[in-house]
Structure 1
Amino acid sequence: MIYHVVPSSVWHSASAEPYAPASLAEEGFVHCSPDEATTLAVVNAFYRDAPRPLLVLALDETRLTARVAWEAAAPAPPPGVSGDTLFPHVFGPLDRDAVDHVLEVRWDGEGRASELGGAG
Structure 2
Amino acid sequence: MATIFHLAFPDQWAAAVEAGCYKWSTRGKSLDDGATFIHASRHDQVAMVANFVYDDVAGPLTLLVIDTERLVSALCDEDLDAIGMTFPHIYGPLNLDAVLDDRPYERGPDGRWPEVAPEPVS
TM range (shorter): 0.7 to 0.9
Match of 1:64 among 65, 71, 74: 71
**1:104/1:116 contact within 8 Å kept:** no
- Mapped contact 2:44–2:116 kept (Cα < 8 A): no
Query: In the alignment, is the contact (CA less than 8 A) between 1:7 and 1:51 conserved in 2?
Result: no
Q: TM-score, normalised by structure 1?
A: 0.79
Letter in 2 for 1:87: F
Residue-pair matches, total: 109
**Cα displacement (A) at 1:116:** 4.6
- Residues 68-107 of structure 1 aligned to structure 2 (within 5 Å): 68-76=75-83, 83=84, 85-107=85-107
Residue 26 of structure 1: CA displacement? 3.1
Q: Please say if residues 59 and 106 of structure 2, whose CA atoms lie closer than 8 Å, have aligned partners that are also in contact.
A: no
**What letter matches 1:93 in structure 2?**
P
Residue in structure 1 matching 2:22, options 16, 19, 22? 19
Asked whether 1:38 is paired with 2:45, we answer yes
Q: Helix, strand or coil: the match of 1:52?
A: coil
**What amino acid sits opposite 1:41 in the alignment?**
M
Question: Percent of counterpart pairs with the same letter?
Answer: 31
Corresponding residue for residue 53 of structure 1: 60
SS state of the match for residue 107, structure 1?
coil
Give the 3 Å change call, closer, same or farther, for CA 64–51 of structure 1 in structure 2: farther
- Structure 2 regions of 5+ residues with no counterpart? 118-122
Q: Which moved more, 1:93-102 or 1:9-18?
A: 9-18
Q: Match for 1:27: what amino acid?
A: A
